[in-house]
Amino acid sequence: MPETYRDPNTRTLTPLDYGLYAISVLVWGLSWIAMHYQVGQVAPAVSIVWRFIIAAPLMFMLALLRGESLRFPLADHRFFLGMGAAIFSVNFLLFYYASQHVASGLLSIVFSLASVGNVVLGALVFGVRIKQRVVIGGVLGVLGVAAMFYPELGGLHFDGGALLGLTLGLGGTLCFCTGNMLSVAAQRRRLPVFASTAWGMLYGASFVTIFALVRGDSFIIEWTPTYLGGLAYLSIIGSFIAFGVYFTLLGRIGAARTGYSTVMYPVVALMVSTFAENYHWSLIGALGLAAVIGGNVLVLRAPK
């Protein structure tokens, strides 16, 4: 590791860090809603391919505009291949297929476990000291999300399909956390964020293309405003912008604090549902929101 490396987990957050965090939370919080409108005539794997075929070239162009090199030795491509497999292909595939078996509320809770998974993997892989306040904040956040989705989960029966969906969701969350560790490792090697992300997206799209071909999925596009609008949002805003912001934040404030943003995504989705779908807040839901906000404060506050 270069001598100039400084552990981002110990940094006091700046206004720029808070701004990047807010953008990540808002964009990906709305992405959960956009993904709902991608389910239809187009196979999930094909939708993922279209998403990153659009996002990857944009990321490559941004990297070039920033003066980042796109040529790397084979040793560095190991990280890009890993990111492509963990985050930009397997992670999305598992969550798409999990959504066919369980409610979106349960998947939101499962994905929020990334806030704890990043802490554990950071300690195991990089020896980052586990901070009590970050663990408490992560647990508060997960419990808070569970409370907010309690009405949706009240009648849930854990039959074979639900257990399969839960397993797929846990696998997707583990892949996401693993990809986070690969991004941290790449940034510790001083690999540029946007070029690394572009290569990861390209490899991820390639993996999913092979998966779709093996399954015999048809590479079609649903020419409706709903599908095309969702695809545009997920490709440009939810991938090109959001992943660039998220991985930049990962390098600036560390995996543990960045991972808590996964707890905040369902909060944004429910806030939108409050106005767009007439979602009614219960007392337990309000207490859950308070727990999420309290956990957020604990995780992001400056370390003593």
CA distance 243 to 248: 8
* Angle of helix 261-276 versus helix 283-300 axis, rounded to 10: 140
Question: Is the separation of the CB atoms in 59 and 198 below 8 Å?
Answer: yes
Residue 265's pLDDT band (cuts 50, 70, 90): confident
pLDDT of residue 155 exceeding 70: no
CA distance 22 to 153: 28
CA distance 48 to 204: 9
Query: Two tokens at 28?
Result: 């990906």
Query: Two tokens at 241?
Result: 């912008």
Residue 3's pLDDT band (cuts 50, 70, 90): very low
CA distance 69 to 277: 46
pLDDT of residue 304 exceeding 60: no
Question: Is the separation of the CB atoms in 138 and 292 below 8 Å?
Answer: no
Question: Is the separation of the CB atoms in 208 and 45 below 8 Å?
Answer: yes
Query: Two tokens at 162?
Result: 């639900």
Centre a 10 Å sphere on the Cβ of residue 164 and count the other Cβ atoms it contains: 15
Condensed to tens digits (0 to 9), the pLDDT of residues 94-109 reads 988 887 777 666 777 7
Query: Two tokens at 45?
Result: 């794997």
Mean pLDDT of the chain: 86
Condensed to tens digits (0 to 9), the pLDDT of residues 7-18 reads 676 677 889 999
CA distance 164 to 66: 43
Q: Is residue 83 exposed (0-12), middle (13-18) or buried (19+ Cβ within 10 Å)? A: buried
Domain borders along the chain are 13-300
* Angle of helix 15-36 versus helix 104-112 axis, rounded to 10: 150
Task: Give alpha helix (H) positions in the chain.
Answer: 15-36, 44-65, 74-85, 92-98, 104-112, 114-126, 132-148, 150-153, 160-188, 193-215, 225-232, 242-253, 255-259, 261-276, 283-300
Condensed to tens digits (0 to 9), the pLDDT of residues 44-86 reads 999 999 999 999 999 999 999 999 999 999 999 999 999 999 9
Lowest mean pLDDT among 153-157, 223-227, 236-240, 254-258: 153-157
